[in-house]
Amino acid sequence: MTPSIDHPYSVGPRARRVLALVRKEVRQIQRDPSSILIAFVLPLILLFLFGYGVSLDATRTRIGVVIERPTPSARSLLAAFQASPSFDVHVATDRRELEGELALGTVRGIVVIPATFDADLWKRSAAPEVLVIVDGAEPNTAALVQGYAQGVVATWAGARAADYGRSGTDSGPEARVWFNPELSSRFFLVPGCIAIVMALVGTLLTSLVVAREWERGTMEAMMATPVTAFELLLGKVIPYFILALASMTLCALVAVFVFGIPFRGSVPALYAISAAFLLPSLGQGLLISSATKNQFLASQLALLSAFLPTFLLSGFIFEIASMPKVIQWLTNIVAARWLIPSLQTVFLAGDVWPLFVLDISVLTLFGAVLLVLAMRTTRKRVA
Amino acid sequence: MMWTRLLALIVKELLVVLRDPRSRTILIGPPVIQLVLFSFAATLEVKNVDLVVMNRDEGPSGIELIRRIEGSPSFRSVVPVHDPRALQRAIDEEKALGAIDIGPSFSVDLAAGRPAKIQVLLDGRRSNASQIVNGYLGVIVNTYMADENEHYRRTASIPRVTPRNWFNPNLTFTWFTVPGLIAIVALLVGLLVTALSVARERELGTFDQLMVAPLRTHEVLLGKMIPPMLIGLGHITIYILATVLVFQVPLRGSVLLLYGSGVFFLAAVVGIGLFISSLCATQQQAILGAFLFVAPATLLSGFATPIENMPDWLQPITMVNPLRHFLVVTRGVFLKAMPFSEVVKNTLPLLAIAIVTLTAAAWLFRRRTE
């Protein structure tokens, strides 16, 4: 298709110029191995790391159970611990046998069933006590072990009361986990990883490529042509926008077909959310590159302002509500913080439009601000 | 003679790094930002949780239980809802991490000694936080039920679980993160300084001059190795001070053991840096190369998530990661007063990694000069 040459001042030439710029950029991407590396190889590496290497699930944690006196009740409680899928149990008769192992980290917890356990169970005056000692040097595992141990003891007490035909005791609250009944952390880590990938492609790659043009002076050469700053940025945004979406698509396919992450939402919703996130991401990349005009600084700034906040301040692994107030407030200006909930929802829960609409609006607003800033900087720099 | 030459080279390297404003920026900026962000934000603690509660019980027990949940410092808000759809919406839109559903006959069942039903609904999109919240709620509900049973004088036979956290009594997350950051910053700084110094000489063409200078290959290598190690030790020192003075993490073991192990860790890191830079032609490639190493090394080190949670085939692979071994030492020395023999056991792999990477780097260097 050749646009009309007869009307040089119609929409035709502008579209043609942008198209030519896009075509040039696409060729450059194809030729430059580092673009392909960042857009396709790095995402796959990250996805495999998050899919296999990073796991918060303390399945079969090694613990020690100390039975100070092998009474029937103590042995029955021990059997309950051994039957639990959460624990890999080592039995001892003295606490001191296991204390050294706890210090080395070879066991993460010690459950002590005291010698008086059985006697206390039958007394009405004293409640029997089970001591759970955990390795506080690993606080997350420690909290999980405490929770699981609590659950095992409560379930055991409930079953025992039922056996004796006694009621009133209860097995505690019954928990039901929506969207992720097996409680696999991979289910939220892999979609979160896709956000990191988009931030890397959108900000790091774009800032590197544009900074290189500034360094080599080809950007200024472009300015001397009839191309306007707006068209120039559009010529950069379009190819990297498409590249980032392609990279996201690859990751989503790997997530679903390799890692078995459920996809309960709709494909248009996934693309709408991703496209909205790419606006601020690309805007940030362009702003960094036109402000620094230097590849080295651009890469450092991109890693610090895009990769690190996406990893730390987005709620992807670390709960925002648990952070100090100042940092909580700071997360509001991190684009990924508005992407992660929607992204995890579209994979695990389905289409929750009230959530999506809010996130998409905030992201579009961020995108508009950053793109306008990027354009201003570009114009100013040339003048 | 060799020592004068070497010393000259070391002084020159240090000057190059410290004079260049760009390198100064990477030595100061990112480490400070990382210390602040990681120590405050990288927390798996679960606090300030938002819950919704649907109390269909009309008796006093449901209200009393809710009062206890509200009283727990872990929860920020406990919002009542009246129908299941509102409950579902709150979780769907991530307005609440979980919900408690108290059945209609809760008070009656509890008083009559029948099993009283409570259901906890949790958001699996954040399964780790959900499990921890479930643990919190389990403790509250079980304690409440035990108290009620005592109140009705039925039985005192529900065992109480007494939790005790060794090494870190309040499970303070910074006690876990910040000692780990000492290892991370040493890795980042050691790697970047090494990788950039060689790549920079390549880019400027001064590397060939260095190769024709009256210096043996191993002298050049030592000259490239020692300055990043000194800078890395400087960062380790600053981070140790911050850990003790700012974050108040108890230093229970020997600081000398930490430094001793740190030297071997830095040697391994510098070896990797030299290896990366001998493969790269420009600073740009060196930065990307360093990033490609740092990301997996951090994720597969046990820094954020324990190695024992990884699949069995992946765990042995982490043995080649120097960060994994040094993290055990930093955390062990700080929190567990790790003895000499254990430090040595975790330092030997670092020595092995250093020997392998430095030999490989030396071989690559020599090959490029010929």
> Is A345 touching B (CB cutoff 8 A)?
yes
What ipTM, to 2 d.p.? 0.81
* CB-nearest partner of B126 from A38, A170, A188: A188
| CA atoms B181, B186, B192, B193: torsion sign | positive
A332 touches chain B (CB under 8 A): no
Contact B281, B201 (CB under 8 A): no
With a pLDDT cut of 70, the percent of chain B lying above it is: 96
Q: How far apart are CA B293 and CA B296, in angstroms?
A: 6
Question: Any idea where the domains of chain B sit in the sequence?
Answer: 2-43+171-369, 49-151
- Chain A to chain B, count of Cβ pairs less than 8 Å apart? 320
Q: What DSSP string runs through A43-77?
A: HHHHHHIIIII-----TTEEEEEEESS--HHHHHH
Q: Which of A128, A150, A153 sits opposite B135 (nearest CB)?
A: A150
Question: Which residue, B128, B192, B160, is CA-closest to A54?
Answer: B128
Q: State whether residue B146 sits within 8 Å of chain A by CB.
A: yes
CA distance B144 to B151: 10
**Which secondary-structure segment (H or E) carries B50?**
strand B49-55
Residues of A in contact with B113 (CB under 8 A): 167-168
A146 interaction partners in chain B (CB closer than 8 Å): 135, 161, 163, 165
| Domains of chain A, first to last | 13-54+184-382 (no CATH), 61-163 (3.40.1710.10)
Cα separation, B188 vs B26, whole angstroms: 10
Residues from chain A contacting residue B76 (CB–CB below 8 Å): 321
pLDDT per residue over B143-156, tens digit each?
888 777 766 655 54
pLDDT in tens, chain B (370 residues): 678 888 888 898 888 888 878 778 778 888 888 888 888 888 888 889 999 999 998 889 899 999 999 999 889 999 999 999 999 999 998 899 999 999 888 888 888 777 777 889 999 888 888 888 988 888 888 888 877 776 665 554 667 788 889 999 888 889 999 999 999 999 998 998 888 888 788 778 787 787 777 777 778 888 889 999 999 999 999 999 999 999 999 999 999 999 999 999 999 999 999 988 888 877 777 877 888 898 899 989 988 888 888 888 999 999 999 999 999 999 999 999 899 999 999 999 999 999 999 999 888 877 765 4
pLDDT at B193: 87
Q: Residue B159 belongs to what H/E stretch?
A: none
B141 contacts: CB under 8 Å, gap ≥ 6 = A172, A173, B65, B118
Distance from CA of B313 to the nearest CA of A (A): 10
Residue type at A81 in one-letter notation: F
Instruction: Kindly state whether B37 is in contact with chain A, defined as any CB-CB distance less than 8 angstroms.
Output: yes
Q: Using alpha carbons only, what angle is made at residue A251 by residues A248 and A254, rounded to the nearest 5 degrees?
A: 150
Residues in B touching A154 (Cβ below 8 Å): 138, 142
pLDDT attached to residue A81: 93
Choose from B155, B315, B319, B323 for mutation: most chain A CBs within 10 A.
Answer: B155
Provide the b/e sequence for A263-277 (b: ≥16 CB within 10 Å): bebeeebbebbbbbb
| CA–CA gap between residue A205 and residue A201 (Å, rounded) | 5
> Measured between alpha carbons, how far is B250 from A357 in angstroms, rounded to an integer?
47
Closest-CA residue of chain B to A304: B30
Cα B307 to Cα B301: distance, rounded to the nearest angstrom: 7
Q: Give per-residue burial for B323-362: e unless 16+ CB within 10 Å, then b.
A: bbbbbbbbbbbbbbebeeebbeebbebbebbbeebbeebb
Contact B300 A49 (CB under 8 A): yes
* Contacts A134 to B, Cβ<8 Å: 163-166
Which residue among B26, B122, B176 sits closest to A138, beta carbon to beta carbon? B176
Residue A8's pLDDT is: 47
Do B320 and B353 meet the contact criterion of CB atoms below 8 Å apart? yes
Interface residue B39 vs chain A (CB under 8 A) = no
Angstrom distance (rounded) from CA B347 to CA B343: 6
- Which A residues 243-262 touch B at CB under 8 Å? none
In this structure, what are the phi and psi dihedrals at residue B185, rounded to the nearest 5 degrees? Answer: -70, -35
Q: Which residue of A has its CA nearest to B179?
A: A137
Q: What is the pLDDT of residue A165?
A: 55
Handedness of CA A241, A246, A249, A251 (dihedral sign): negative
Question: Tokens 């191309």 — which residue?
Answer: A227
Q: How many helices (H) and strands (E) does chain A have?
A: 17, 5
Local structure of B160: helix, strand or coil:
strand
Contacts with B313 (C-beta within 8 Å, 6 or more apart), sequence order: none
d(CA A115, CA A130): 10
- Answer whether B342 touches A (CB < 8 Å): yes
Which residues are within 8 A (CB) of A74 and not within 5 positions of it... i.e. 6 or more apart? Answer: A67, A68, A113, A117, A118
pTM to 2 decimal places: 0.85
Superfamily of B49-151 according to CATH: abc type-2 transporter like domain (3.40.1710.10)
CB contact under 8 A, B125 and A179: yes
Asked if A321's CB is within 8 angstroms of B76's CB, the reply is yes
Residues of chain A contacting residue B164, judged by C-beta atoms under 8 Å apart: 131-134
Give the three-class secondary structure for B97.
coil
Determine the Cα–Cα distance for residues B243 and B38; give it in Å rounded to an integer: 12
Looking at residue A382, its pLDDT comes to: 58
For residue A223, the tally of other CB atoms under 10 A from its CB is 16
What distance in Å separates the CA atoms of residue A373 and residue A286, rounded to the nearest whole number? 9
Residue to test with chain B: of A47, A50, A176, A345, most B Cβ within 10 A = A176
Q: Do A304 and B132 touch (CB under 8 A)?
A: no
Q: Is B76 an 8 Å CB contact of chain A?
A: yes
State which residues of chain A have pLDDT below 70.
1-11, 124-126, 162-172, 380-383
What span, in angstroms and rounded, lies between the C-alpha atoms of A162 and A169? 8
Are A134 and B115 a contacting pair at CB < 8 A? no
Comparing CB atoms, the residue among B38, B118, B296 nearest residue A173 is B118
The answer to whether residue B296 neighbours chain A at the CB level (below 8 Å) is yes
Residues B216 and B189: their CA atoms lie apart, in Å, by 26
Q: Cβ of B135 under 8 Å from any chain A Cβ?
A: yes
At residue B43, the pLDDT reads 84
The 3-state secondary structure of B225-263, one letter per residue: HHHHHHHHHHHHHHHHHHHHHCCCCCCCCCHHHHHHHHH
pLDDT at A381: 61
Please give the pLDDT value at position B242.
93
Which residues in chain A have Cβ-Cβ distances shorter than 8 Å to B172?
Answer: 139
- Smallest Cβ distance to A321: which of B49, B120, B137? B49
CA B240/CA B251 separation, integer angstroms: 9
Is B216 an interface residue toward A (CB < 8 Å)? no
